[in-house]
């Protein structure tokens, strides 16, 4: 079943589907995070076999682990992926502005790719390597799968 939207309502859809006897898997669209969906649905067993985007909570890069540690120390909760992406985007923007000494949006935008390569790796939890012409972040393409009650990160082949 393809499900998605915000994590909390998606968790309720998953929960109700299971209560109604649905035994299939779930493809969880990118706005919903499997770890957050599972919390609402009643645990990881409710989303066993689901696939979706890798939640920050299981992203295993040193920068992601460091970001999670610092975020938890400050806010006493697990950060979502939006917090990590906004954090790295802001730092890339500042790095590009500093490098170009400009406030012109086109000039700054053109420098974002180099900014990502030059900024402190602690500020890049997802190890984004470049930005596409349309503004998309480029990183290693992986997906999350719920296997045996755990969310695991797998390469897309």
Check: CB of residue 131 under 8 Å from CB of residue 112: yes
List the 2-3 sheet strands across, edge first.
2-3, 27-28, 51-52, 142-147, 150-155
Given a cut of 90, whether residue 149 has pLDDT beyond it is yes
Q: Is the pTM of this model over 0.85?
A: no
Tens of pLDDT, residue by residue over 119-141, are 999 999 988 988 898 888 888 88
pLDDT above 70 coverage of the chain, percent: 100
Mean pLDDT of the chain: 93
Sorting pLDDT into bands at 50, 70 and 90, what band is 108? very high
Check: CB of residue 126 under 8 Å from CB of residue 61: yes
Q: Can you give the pLDDT at residue 112?
A: 93
Over residues 83-98, mean pLDDT: 95
Nearest to 124 by CA among 69, 61, 53: 61
Tens of pLDDT, residue by residue over 6-60, are 999 999 999 999 999 999 999 999 889 999 999 999 999 999 999 998 889 888 8
Given a cut of 90, whether residue 156 has pLDDT beyond it is no
**Long-range contacts at 75-80 (CB < 8 A, ≥ 24 apart):** 78/35, 80/33, 80/36, 80/55, 80/56
Q: Can you give the pLDDT at residue 134?
A: 86
Q: Can you give the pLDDT at residue 14?
A: 97
The H or E element containing residue 118 is helix 105-118
**Please, what is the Cα angle at 40 between 147 and 26, to 5 degrees?**
45
Domain ranges of the chain: 2-53, 62-138
Over residues 66-89, mean pLDDT: 94
């Amino acid at each position: 079943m393809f499900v998605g939207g915000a994590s909390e309502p998606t968790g309720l859809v998953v929960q109700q589907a299971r209560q109604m006897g649905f035994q299939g898997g779930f493809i969880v669209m990118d706005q919903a995070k499997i770890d957050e969906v599972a919390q609402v649905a009643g645990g990881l067993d409710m989303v066993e076999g689901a696939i979706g985007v890798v939640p920050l909570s299981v992203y295993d890069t040193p920068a992601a682990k460091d970001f999670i540690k610092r975020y938890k120390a400050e806010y006493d909760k697990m950060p979502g992926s939006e917090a990590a992406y906004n954090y790295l985007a802001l730092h890339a923007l500042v790095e590009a502005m500093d490098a170009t000494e400009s406030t012109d949006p086109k000039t700054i935008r053109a420098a974002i790719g180099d900014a990502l390569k030059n900024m402190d790796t602690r500020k890049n939890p997802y190890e984004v390597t470049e930005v596409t012409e349309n503004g998309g972040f480029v990183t290693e393409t992986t997906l999350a799968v719920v296997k045996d009650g755990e969310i695991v990160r797998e390469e897309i082949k």
